[in-house]
Chains A and B, each alone.
Chain A
């Protein structure tokens, strides 16, 4: 399936290559560079490119292009998902998926890629299994290894590989047994000029950090499971239990993982926690315009809206902006025409405002459209959908684990049209 992989950085250097079948020359990447040039910005490089002898399927993650070479028919999503899994694994192993991290750990990267694919077909992609085969680097271990000559490579088959719970490694031991669940909800919304909601929905995930000894069997139940309209599961979750009882029952992987992703049923009205008052105008036949934006809280259920950041892609004709912020600080990058306003916390008593003059290139026509405002925010201790975890029970082990649930609401793709 996957013939070769090339990692390419933003300046177009191929800094790593790996082949699972016979070697494919680097020159195949020229087709990719060609497509990249055509595509103005990185976001628009087509993920699937056809060349005379190969197909190139690529992803863009953390300023790196992962370009895979394919020779025959394959579901493109198969390759895309796999490449993202590779990037996730690097992130997991090295704490970041960057060119430097990959170059610094090139041997481990190679060993990982070797285990993850055999003849182009995925072999071991579960983090728990990989970590038994190849231990992640730590400073201590590399010191010990260099002195004792011991290695990072395991010599027995990870037990998970053979069992029907491949995601969990055997023999897990902790002195403090803990299970944490983060319920993270994101609001995707489009708000129109007049402030009414064109489209809004809530996408949520439950990220877990499980540090429990042995083989715990957990079940997590909700106060209001019916809210979850569409759910996707980590393979550990027993589908039938969910179908019949709406309980998440599972033997968890060890460590960090995403338990479920969900969408809240679209019938429910989505509470929008902030409102934006805006006045952006460009005068005809004049090289300036006015900009005035105020952000305020709304329906926030007594919680503080924080981490507010507004980014605006201004029209090309904008030369500069002269603004005053009553709160936080703003920057305008005249090259990419992006205005960023870091607001911070919103206090209802004194609403943050950003106001001033927009300077246009002289002689340029008045911009057709006002820019959209992209808003980010965070609300701690609140799941905007109202989802609540009822209880977590553990079977199969006798100790009493420490349990914790955290809720957080964030802006997803939250856009205000002006």
Chain B
């Protein structure tokens, strides 16, 4: 230790690092290294990043024990919280919040608040983690922390979503109201959140949905989502339907949104995500739709044994209620001799749940293999399973019973014993024909030693002693001899047998029974002595015997209800599937109850979000100008931006082309983080768009007079911003009449626009005099694509197909910037979404220039590149 201290105090980083590594090695082994605290804490401000990290590891481990000394390090972290490097800010927050020292609670609170508005989503993610740490250190901070949670829930970064929902679940899971406004956003972001966050969010949304939507399950009926009256239905059917209509169910679109957006996650590589979606469908989807999860769950069975274990448990619970879901996969649950026993028994459980009239014969054949298994525990479980099949499916009861009787001659005692126990239960349910089987079992008594089995046989003989009047007394005689050496369980049943025989056949058995009762009277076990006294009082009449002995026969030989052979998974479904509580079948600490569906749905409008308000908040924090879609979102591909995302392949992109004048050498794609940096730089300048400086006079022909039967049309881009809304490109259309007749009612019809594109048409021109010409304005939102807008230009009597294709330059708006910046690069933003487009021209030696375009819009970017190249090469 002294040696380590010297090393830590040495001036060389390498010695310090070496010492720290040894200390971490000690911590890892669980050895105490707390004495070195003062020497270690001095190095918290080390320049060497690895030393620093290892000191952090040490601090988090021992700060709780050495609170005073730990305070020495706090100022270092406070300084680091302001560091320009986001990794350093984030790790400072991580360590600071992991030091469990109550005095620094206010400092932590302040740090969390600041970090929650940090520009870096990574820092904000760490802030969300810190919330839980502070909460467990000081629960009194709850209210303030909820404020931070509320703020972070609004965060649109996929990085933050999972962590803040985790914090929500731990700090204030009952504050469902905080979720309303974020519900749709969370549903839409879900696909892009990292896998661990997905699990947490899905579980939370399952709970949320159960409080907000009405049940889609209607008395096990298939639910029609959109009920339409069938035209061809007979009146009677119609009447029936009308009755149904009273409680017609329409699914809330938000409920549907959740189901739709979680479905693709069934394809996740992460078993926890797949299970989370499966339980969501189980608890939320109409019963007819829940079936889609089975295939994915069965796929998980190919995974390691731990995953198999949990998944099989959940399937076991599901398969009790809805057999149909897993019936097609019956054979996937067949047992291999190499499966661990716990997996085998779970598979067996499921097979038993899935048994029905149609598949029982196949299953029984399969079970025969299992019964012979070397794994005797499993063989015994199989016998129980056969018993359950026998009671559930009456067609095979006899077959099963015969099969089990055959097993009674098995060489293995465990198998025989289990069979006896199961046969006993089966006979109780089938009290018609047992004479032969009971006789057979009575014979077994000589050889079988397993107490449960012996007890079962004795009970059977006692219960049905009137059906085997010759054998029963003999059995009592034999067991009376061995009484003293029997297990307690067996002794009790011998006493029972004696009592029952005494009541039915006292002539033959009176003495025997009294002998047995005498043995019982002096037994070592309290239980046996107690039972003996009880029986004697009840059956042997004497002066003191009360009114009860009259009824002794009714008491002992009453009709007893047959035991129900049930699955051990029968009642597990009160726990949410996929949870720890479900696995343990007992409520775990912190388990959050899944509420019942509300009778009437709470107000769905609480989930409506004011778009403008949201956008304002977000431009405030991130300086993003894209208002509708968060830039982080790419794989989400929600319907609205489907088109866009299939054409681009990463949200930030950079097209780069090495331009060797006049010919192009190559062009390379590059990541778009450059763009993010730039976006920040431009956040101020972007807010106002410069007025156009030059307006091109070039007109394009829309309709030639020859093909327009005398009607001609030209258009040009007027570059007037925002006449029809700021996403529209203004187009001025000049229509000329070259005929010698009036043309009436010129208007636009039959627009064939690609998805997302919109058009603001001009007001119809009522009348155009011969040789007259008129100019109208229209607006087209090209949705930042260079695709054509096709439509029909119509007159009163005729129509002409025309289309407008924008030059890529018309899709861009200029952005002002300082002269200094302009010398390096010039910028524009797209009209529709306001994505930045940055053009840089770099001159190199030997008359080479490099032209770089940075943009998220790959298509426009590459078109622009193509168009700019020849222009620049000529210049």
Contacts and interface: CB of A to CB of B under 8 A. Distances in A.
Interface of A: 1, 14-19, 21-23, 26, 41, 43-44, 46-48, 50, 55, 58-61, 70-78, 80-82, 84, 106-107, 109-111, 114, 118-119, 121-123, 125, 146, 149, 151-157, 159, 161-166, 170, 188, 190, 192, 198-199, 201, 203, 214-215, 217, 229-235, 238-241, 243, 249, 251, 258, 261, 263, 313, 315-316, 365-369, 371-372, 374, 395-398, 412-413, 415, 417
Interface stretch (B71-79, B305-313, B688-696): B305-313
B340 interface: yes
Q: Which 10 A-B pairs have the closest CB atoms?
A: A72-B590, A151-B50, A396-B669, A43-B340, A369-B372, A157-B87, A77-B272, A122-B196, A47-B306, A199-B331
A15 B29 contact: yes
Interface string B48-69: 1111011011000100100000
B374 A251 contact: no
B704 interface: no
Nearest to A118: B129
Nearest to A171: B671
A216 to B, nearest CB: 8
Interface string B24-67: 11011110000000000000000011110110110001001000
Given A153-B50, A164-B158, A232 B340 contact: no
Contacts of A251: 649-650
A118 B632 contact: no
Given A106-B25, A251-B649, A398-B668, 15 more contacts: A48-B583, A73-B590, A111-B53, A114-B53, A198-B331, A214-B669, A215-B650, A215-B669, A233-B267, A234-B269, A235-B194, A238-B635, A241-B646, A261-B269, A261-B299
A71 B196 contact: no
B637 interface: yes
Contact of A413 (B158, B166, B269, B338): B338
> Which of B28, B276, B373 counts the most chain A CB atoms within 10 A?
B28
A50 B584 contact: yes
A21 B97 CA distance: 11
A173 B575 CA distance: 51
Nearest to B21: A107
Interface string B635-652: 101000010011001111
Given A164-B633, A413-B338, A23 B61 contact: yes
Nearest to A102: B28
Interface residues of chain B: helix, strand, loop or mixed (majority)? helix
Given A80-B310, A214-B669, A75 B649 contact: no
B269 A365 contact: no
> Which of B122, B649, B668 counts the most chain A CB atoms within 10 A?
B649
Given A55-B580, A77-B275, A415 B302 contact: no
> Which of B166, B580, B590, B591 counts the most chain A CB atoms within 10 A?
B580
A232 B273 CA distance: 11
Interface of B: 12-14, 17, 21, 24-25, 27-30, 48-51, 53-54, 56-57, 61, 64, 85-88, 90, 94, 97-98, 100, 120-122, 125-126, 129-130, 132-133, 136, 158-159, 163, 166, 191-192, 194-196, 199, 203, 264, 267-272, 274-276, 295-296, 298-299, 302, 304-307, 309-311, 331-332, 334, 336-338, 340-342, 366, 369, 372-374, 410-412, 578-581, 583-584, 586, 588-592, 632-635, 637, 642, 645-646, 649-652, 666-671, 673
A121 B269 contact: no
A107 B366 CA distance: 52
Contacts of B583: 48, 76
Given A149-B17, A153-B49, A155-B85, A109 B591 contact: no
A253 B71 CA distance: 42
A43 B305 contact: yes
A251 B203 CA distance: 29
B53 A153 contact: yes
Contact of B299 (A16, A75, A230): A230
Given A153-B53, A155-B49, A190-B336, A240 B589 contact: no
A243 B337 CA distance: 38
Nearest to A16: B28
Nearest to B64: A22
Given A15-B29, A80-B271, A165-B650, A74 B580 contact: yes
17 contacts: A21-B136, A55-B584, A59-B306, A78-B196, A84-B304, A107-B21, A114-B53, A121-B163, A156-B85, A161-B159, A165-B650, A232-B296, A238-B637, A263-B299, A368-B410, A395-B669, A417-B337
A414 B578 CA distance: 30
B365 to A, nearest CB: 9
A232 B268 contact: yes
A375 to B, nearest CB: 12
A73 B580 contact: yes
A22 B100 contact: yes
B747 to A, nearest CB: 36
B589 A80 contact: no
A395 B647 CA distance: 12
Nearest to B88: A155
A215 B671 contact: yes
A230 B272 contact: no
Nearest to B311: A77
B299 A110 contact: no
A173 to B, nearest CB: 12
Contacts of A73: 579-581, 588-592
A107 to B, nearest CB: 5
B90 A44 contact: no
A227 B338 CA distance: 29
Contact of A46 (B120, B299, B342, B589): B342
A239 B591 contact: no
B86 A232 contact: no
Given A76-B580, A156-B87, A166-B194, A313 B29 contact: no
Nearest to A258: B269
A110 B24 contact: yes
Nearest to B159: A162
B334 A161 contact: no
A201 B649 contact: no
Contacts of B633: 164
Contacts of A15: 29
Contact of B272 (A81, A198, A413): A81
A71 B589 contact: yes
Nearest to B302: A203
Contacts of A234: 269
Given A77-B307, A146-B14, A230-B296, A162 B120 contact: yes
> Which of B12, B61, B410 counts the most chain A CB atoms within 10 A?
B61
A119 B133 contact: yes
A92 B611 CA distance: 45
Given A78-B199, A153-B49, A413-B336, A163 B673 contact: yes
A162 B194 CA distance: 11
Nearest to B858: A396
Contact of B668 (A161, A230, A369, A397): A397
Nearest to A15: B29
B199 A59 contact: no
A61 B305 CA distance: 10
A340 B762 CA distance: 84
A91 to B, nearest CB: 14
A229 B642 CA distance: 25
A46 B589 CA distance: 20
B13 A395 contact: no
A97 to B, nearest CB: 13
Contacts of B579: 73-76
A235 B649 contact: no
Contacts of B334: 190, 198-199
Contact of A217 (B306, B307, B649): B649
B578 A75 contact: yes
A313 B584 CA distance: 32
A72 B132 contact: no
Nearest to A42: B340
> Which of A78, A170, A366 counts the most chain B CB atoms within 10 A?
A78
